[in-house]
Structure 1
């Protein structure tokens, strides 16, 4: 698809979603308040008290527009402010009437969302909410202060990891389907490893989003050596320390499981991953040039002694 196709698809989605959530109606949620007015009431109600400047930043509104909204909502009896030089610098809070409007708008918003979700089966709800979170993460970046959890994979996530990594390395490195088929076999090898006490796979869950993964299992022909495999972080979640947290968890697990050494294989073109390995104490022990995945590569073997 070309950029023109993508633009057309985005505009079509915007028109569709605008209609679905009722933004073309005269008032939000069948209320007498326009979208901008309802958003201001919601932000103040959520914060308990704030200033017009803070509202401008949160809602990406210019000061003139915000000033007009504050005057109008004050005239309607929804806002109260402490005396000050002008309304843009005053501390704003909802009046009792404003609190009622805030509660009513919240309840109506919940009802509208429930009406959209209720007809969907569980898979449809998962797909919809996941897509919404993904759009937000891509366009705005991960929510600051989100909780990172390293957990076992859920049903369906192994296939998702394979698909995402196959696509990711194709787009970023130009690798072909040979790589996707290889990692499919690698994940199957993890599943086939017989002793659950000597292997583990972690999904990096950031604020409910699948942000990355890694796994460790015994190295071939050496039960005292662990093999780190398939370190991966979604592009939208890079720079948050997730890759380092995943590698640190492999090191911690490997020590606890009694391994004496960890090895891994990577390519020198994957510079961010190599920086993580260096930071965790791994050392480069061998290199070899090869042609794989439709590209000329320089493979690297790294190791970390645990004893």
Structure 2
């Protein structure tokens, strides 16, 4: 299918707008001192509870060597713990420490607060429209992408 150049430009414009709006290009995300990638790794592990690095590579679509450096940094800072897997001695199970769990909770709280701030000034009807539109975008893009974002 041929995609109209205007459609491409509009989508790219939206992407630039939304990343700027969320502040994801800042050096750190949500004033935590951690990059967006580091925060996403913490959130993903927090949601999974315990995982192996391959789970993170697959779910975040992240380069394996870059993930390894992120995990090493977060482990050194006492946010993650790696333990030998009893099922596969070639793998380490990764989980959050108590300090990592606190950061996970902080990231979730700050993310929720950021969304509330974004929606301030919109009517209930506008919020419902925005929400419906976002769900539609998610549904359409997940349908063509086997792995959900």
Instruction: Sort the TM-score into its range (normalised by shorter chain).
Output: 0.7 to 0.9
Contact in 1 for aligned 2:50/2:95 (Cα 8 Å) = yes
Q: Return the TM-score normalized by structure 1.
A: 0.44
- Specify the alignment match of 2:20 in structure 1: 19
- Specify the alignment match of 2:108 in structure 1: 106
| 1:111-130 alignment, distance < 5 Å | 111-130=113-132
- Specify the alignment match of 1:8 in structure 2: 9
The offset of 1:117, in angstroms, is 1.6
Unmatched 5+ stretches in structure 1: 145-307
SS at match of 1:29: coil
Q: Deviation above 6 Å: which 4+ runs of structure 1?
A: none
Higher relative contact order (CA 8 A, sep 6+): 2
SS at match of 1:31: coil
Q: Return the TM-score normalized by structure 2.
A: 0.88
| 1:129-144 alignment, distance < 5 Å | 129-141=131-143
- Specify the alignment match of 1:80 in structure 2: 81
Contact in 1 for aligned 2:49/2:96 (Cα 8 Å) = yes
Give the Cα–Cα distance (whole angstroms) in 2 for the partners of residues 60 and 18 of structure 1: 18
SS at match of 1:141: helix
Give the Cα–Cα distance (whole angstroms) in 2 for the partners of residues 129 and 96 of structure 1: 34
Give the Cα–Cα distance (whole angstroms) in 2 for the partners of residues 130 and 89 of structure 1: 41
Give the Cα–Cα distance (whole angstroms) in 2 for the partners of residues 77 and 120 of structure 1: 41
Structure having the higher strand fraction is 1
Coordinate RMSD, CA, aligned: 1.7
The offset of 1:119, in angstroms, is 1.7
Q: What is the aligned residue count?
A: 139
Larger radius of gyration: 1
Give the Cα–Cα distance (whole angstroms) in 2 for the partners of residues 29 and 132 of structure 1: 22
| 1:1-307 alignment, distance < 5 Å | 3-83=4-84, 89-141=91-143
Give the Cα–Cα distance (whole angstroms) in 1 for the partners of residues 129 and 31 of structure 2: 28
Give the Cα–Cα distance (whole angstroms) in 2 for the partners of residues 110 and 27 of structure 1: 17
Unmatched 5+ stretches in structure 2: none
